[in-house]
Amino acid sequence: MQLLCQLDTSDFSGWKRDFDSERTERMEAGLTLLQMWRDSDTRSRVLMLFEVGDVARAKVWLRKEQGFGGPMTAHFLETV
C-alpha cells in the first residue's frame, strides 16, 4: 500500500529541513519515502509518495502531521 500526500507550505526550505530531521519518526510509523516532487508551477506545493508498512501507525503519523508546515491532503492507495 502507498500513501500520497500533498502539502502547501509557505516556507519550503524550513519545512524540508524539519521533514528531513524527522526521518526516524516516519520509519517508526511504518513509512518509507519513495519519491518527493515539487510542483513546477506552484513552488509551494509538495507531493510525497510513501510505502506504507503499517496503516494504523501511518494514520497516527498523519494526524500528528496535519497542519505542520501548511494544509495537507493524504490518500492511501492500493495497486490494482
Query: Per-residue pLDDT averaged across 5-16, rounded?
Result: 92
> For residue 50, which of 18, 21, 77, 70 has the smallest C-alpha distance?
77
Three-state SS at 64: helix
| Band (6; pLDDT cuts 50, 70, 90) | very high
Q: What are the residue ranges spanned by the domains of the chain?
A: 2-77
Residue 71's pLDDT is: 82
Three-state SS at 25: helix
> Cα 6 to the chain's mean position, in Å?
7
Q: Which tens digit of pLDDT belongs to each residue from 17-72?
A: 999 999 999 999 999 999 999 999 998 999 999 999 999 999 999 988 876 767 88
Annotation: CATH topology of 2-77? Alpha-Beta Plaits (3.30.70)
